Amino acid sequence: MAGEAAMRMAILWAFAIMTGLSTESCGNEKIDIAFVFYYIPDSNTELSRSPYWHDPGFRRALELLEQEHAMIVHRFNIADEQVRPTLEQEISRKRFSFIFAKGCWHTPVDKYMRSRILRLKPKSMKAGLFPACSSAPPPDEETGEPISLVYDVIYYDKLWLRGTFSHHPLAIHAFGVDAGKTFRASGNQRSGGPKLFDYVSVGIFAPWKRHENILDKNGSRLVVGYGWRPQESSEVISALFSGGVAVWQNLHPSKMCLLYMCSLALRCSLQRKELTSRQEHREAADGGQ
């Protein structure tokens, strides 16, 4: 909740600075915001049908904005081409006070925002981007300036990225996790038990996540993630299995905190998941021969 409240105040603060309104007035009236994102669910995974299912903190933060009646968030998934005309029409009608986009540099969201939305919107309508990546903004091909400067506000979720966006006049730390509060054991959870894994790597099964680095570590190792492109994800998983690394796929986010704490209550069920995953992998490999 601490991270959610901080995110909400960060957006309100940014909005207040750009519009001249006080944060109190922002909190007392409903503000229409367009949330622009690009998301294609994995048809083979029921969990993935909900956008950002693997990031419950981010989804909850957006829900909190609406529940507290500070903002009305209108979601536009531009992976659906039919959504774009509707978004552009609403922007032309000046329906929104703020356009919030999520996507790294040169992704479909960033390209669409810079090539179309930022040119279409009136000057009074502000726009911000949450890059959701650790890469520094590349220079514009024409001006040589960082492309982040075309946005009125930039959000970053890790404190160590502050220097990366020091060039921007309004870069705000938001969407980050207060680890001390997030991973604090409650009365129903057991902490301080025997360590289940020495090394844990979490992220999509894609080459740029560099899960293979865990193969160089000694001890019990685990990788938790979900699929990307079938062939490349299969290659990543096969390399991990061959190296004796446990692999769990599509672990529900509600279990992640328990996993990080290596609680005794979860130990048996997690071990069963590992054995099942290994067996399914061997059966799939045998069937492909």
With contact defined as beta carbons under 8 Å apart, do 178 and 3 qualify?
Answer: yes
- Position with higher pLDDT, 191 vs 129: 129
Separation of alpha carbons 162 and 145, rounded Å: 18
Position 66 pLDDT exceeds 50: yes
Sorted by where each begins, the domain ranges of the chain are 2-179, 186-287
Closest CA to 128 of 89, 102, 93, 163: 102
pLDDT at 31 over 90: no
Q: Give the model confidence (pLDDT) of 80-136 as tens digits.
A: 989 999 999 999 999 998 999 999 999 999 999 999 999 999 998 999 999 988 889
Distances (CA, A) of 88 to 12, 80, 121, 145: 24, 14, 8, 27
At residue 152's C-alpha, the angle toward residues 151 and 154, to 5°, is 70
| Percent of the chain at pLDDT exceeding 90 | 36
pLDDT of 272 > 50? The answer is no
3-state SS track over 145-160? CEHHHHCCEEEECCHH
- pLDDT > 70 in the chain, percent: 65
Comparing 200 with 165, the larger pLDDT belongs to 165
CA distances from 172 to 21, 38, 144, 162 (A): 18, 22, 23, 8
| Tokens 């997690």 sit on residue | 270
Q: Tell me, which fold does domain 2-179 have in CATH?
A: Rossmann fold (3.40.50)
The string of pLDDT tens digits covering residues 147-173 is: 999 999 998 887 788 899 999 999 988
